[in-house]
Amino acid sequence: MTDQRSLWDQTGGKVGDDHPLTSHVAATRVKSGSQKAQILLALRTVYPGGMTGYALSDLVLNSASRAISPNQACTRLLELRETGLVQYARPFTGGPILEEETTPGNTGQVHCLTERGYRTAAAL
């Protein structure tokens, strides 16, 4: 039997090479899996048609039980896209990415679950 890591085993967030050492250390200690799980559940149960990172940020709580920022939600969405669990919502295959208003005069890209994302969210 092989030891397979799951989405929930992942820790840390995005850290670039230009970030200080303290950021790299913090990234190894901060669990982002719970935020990812909340996003998957929200996209499965709250609004399966998809949501923007801006809208999701109100639904996802950090460890202090406070809503995360839209930037944090978008980072988690990027991580979920990179693992094949989330994709951009489109009206048809190969069509334009759907957008929704976030703040007056601004829009955000809509994300939805992939088939794999639905299976993962259903297993929570």
Tell me which CATH code domain 18-122 carries: 1.10.10.10
Q: Which helix or strand (DSSP H or E) is residue 109 part of?
A: strand 107-109
Q: pLDDT of 36-48, one tens digit each?
A: 999 999 999 988 8
Helical ranges in the chain per DSSP H: 21-29, 33-41, 53-57, 70-82, 115-122
76 and 32 in contact (C-beta within 8 Å)? yes
Q: How far apart are CA 61 and CA 84, in angstroms?
A: 23
Task: Check whether 17 has a pLDDT greater than 50.
Answer: yes
Domain locations along the chain: 18-122
The larger pLDDT score, comparing residue 24 to residue 120, is at 120
Q: pLDDT of 68-86, one tens digit each?
A: 999 999 999 999 999 999 9
Question: Whole-prediction pTM value?
Answer: 0.73
